[in-house]
Every structure is written in C-alpha cells, then in structure tokens.
Structure 1
C-alpha cells in the first residue's frame, strides 16, 4: 500500500466514507466476498487513531456485445448503418473482438462494422466502428472481472449514462488503464448513473459496458 498517498486521502477523515471506497480498493485494501459484491473490513492506523471500515461494495458487471446481435452480423446481417460488415484479416494487434473481448489472432478473419451500443436511436446514441471475429466465438463470460483486453491500451475514455441512456455530465473522463476499474466504480457510485461505456481514448471506439452489480 502506498502509505503516504493513503494518508493524504484520509488526512481530514475520522472514518472512511463511501467516497473513499474506490480509492481504498486501488490502494490494495483487502476485501472479502459478500453475496453479489464485496465486504471490505480493515483497520487503518492514522495520526494515532484506528479507523475501522466495513461496507458491502457491489462490483460492476462487465458485458460484451450480445451473442444474438453478433451472430446476426457474422451471418451477413446489416450493421447500424444498414450495411453488411466488411471482411478483413487481423494483423494480430489492436483488433479486439467486442464479443469474446480478446484480440483477434494474426491472420484470422475479422469483421469491421458500425455499431450503436444503445437500445434505441436518440441524440446521445453514438455509432462507431468495431471489430468482431468473422467466425463464431464465445462471449466474454467473467462479468464480474475487468476484461484483460482493457489493460492493453495506456488509457481509456469512460462515460456514465442514466436509465434513459443520456450522458450524465461530469462523468466523462480519460483515465489510465491502471486506474480504470476504480474509476468505473466511482462513476457507478453516482445514484443517477445506470451504466458506464468504456471506449478507446484515442479513437472513441466502443469497447465494453459496465453496469451496477
């Protein structure tokens, strides 16, 4: 644990509040399983005081593109622009499939298409390019864990949306990959936020979605 930074966070605190949880998580404060989330219990000695914390923390649920949507595209269905996906060959790097959430291997076929990751069309429903394996692949299943593919870029753009799929202003930010998980947790603590979109920081391409656990 980076003690000096933790002391800065807690310098004016007699107790750990909800605000501190994402930061404590990123500093390596231990958590234990508790139902659908985690229960954090820890003692921190600060300025002669022992600070005790205990709180159940719901973990985000990460999701890839739905299989039924992907299978239709792999079978020649049209994308968000009404076009059939382009076929290409992966160069083995920076070609992440948005269904299996893995890089498409070198020399394997891939689809390039326009996707709109929203339930309906409205002013906030962005459409942009994504890659898919051209052959059928298994959907990413470890929904409670940050997909490893989201550690392959130096930083990511994340934005919170409300239940009506409108951007919650003030949540959009570019964060380093090393703090991505904690940053998503912090945004989802906002009661107005229903889900978070994770996008590439440089090209704004959609990567995955995180919902409240």
Structure 2
C-alpha cells in the first residue's frame, strides 16, 4: 500500500480568510447559513453543518503551478475548526460524493491517462493505482458534478 496524506487548506490561510472576509481574488466571501444542511470544509475535510454559517469563496489551487492550476470555489467553516491531519485516510468529503481524481507530474502537467471518475466511497483502489505510477507526483480530488477541488493527495 502506498502511504499518502490528504492536504487541507493551510491553517494560516483559513484564519486570515475568516478575518478578512475577502478571497484570493479580492472578492467578498459569501456566508451560507442553512439549518440542517452540510457543506464540505476544505480545512477540516468534514461535512460541516451550515447552521452557524459556512464560507463560500474563490481559491487559487496551489498545485499544480502550471497552466492546469486554476481557481476553484470552496467551502470553509465560518468558525475555527481543526485542520485534517490523518495519514492514509480518505476524508468524508471525498467518500460522500462522485469525484474526479486528476493526476499531475512533477512539472505540474496533467497526466491525461491518469484521471479517473469514481464514487468516493470506492476510490481506495483507484487512488492506490494512481499513487503507484512513477509519473504521478500528486492527485487533486474534485467534485465530479460542480468541479470544485476537495483536496490534494500526495505520497508520504
């Protein structure tokens, strides 16, 4: 088995963004308050309740640093949450939805034959296959329907 970790938002970024209420592109952040609904927080990587407010913002994906690195809409808890730190664990925000696993090489170039559409709850085998490829440096996980990035996965 290939050891891996799912990379969440940086805690410093999360704190700064909550305080400023401005996203990476200078736009005001939207606060969604909806009783009984959950949204996928990119910092704690959990399905977080929107009862107290979830932040919706535009985020510049840090990797790849190439023509394939593009902004994505993300949700983040409106209040402080604990950063996801578990290794070799697929978080619920991936398991709970249909996802696209997008693979990139060390130069940030997309590896077209290493992109997979899979049910998140069944992604373990596919992820292991991708991490087993020597040309894959990291995998970005996106929602299949909206295309929003959930997290980046790297070998440990």
Give CA deviations for 1:53-91 in whole Å, capped at 9, x if unaligned. xxxx33221121111111111111532322231222145
Compared CA separation, residues 77 and 94, structure 1 to 2 (3 A): closer
Partner of 1:10: none
Q: 1:199 aligned to 2:139?
A: no
Largest Rg, 1 or 2:
1
Q: Describe the SS at the equivalent of 1:62.
A: strand
Structure 2 portions without partners, runs of 5+: none
* Contact 1:92–1:104, Cα closer than 8 Å, also in 2: no
Compared CA separation, residues 119 and 152, structure 1 to 2 (3 A): closer
Instruction: Output the aligned Cα RMSD.
Output: 1.8
Q: Describe the SS at the equivalent of 1:104.
A: strand
CA distance in 2, matches of 1:99, 1:203: 19
Give the deviation of 1:176 after TM superposition: 1.9
Aligned residue-pair number: 156
1:35-114 to 2 correspondences below 5 Å: 57-76=1-20, 78-114=22-58
Q: Describe the SS at the equivalent of 1:209.
A: strand
Within the candidate set 115, 128, 136, 1:172 is matched to 115
Give the deviation of 1:94 after TM superposition: 4.8
Partner of 1:137: 81
With the length of structure 2 as denominator, give the TM-score of the two structures: 0.90
With the length of structure 1 as denominator, give the TM-score of the two structures: 0.67
* Contact 1:118–1:165, Cα closer than 8 Å, also in 2: no
Q: Describe the SS at the equivalent of 1:79.
A: coil
CA distance in 2, matches of 1:208, 1:102: 11
CA distance in 1, matches of 2:58, 2:40: 14
Structure 1 portions without partners, runs of 5+: 1-56
Higher relative contact order (CA 8 A, sep 6+): 2
* Contact 1:111–1:134, Cα closer than 8 Å, also in 2: yes
CA distance in 1, matches of 2:86, 2:75: 20
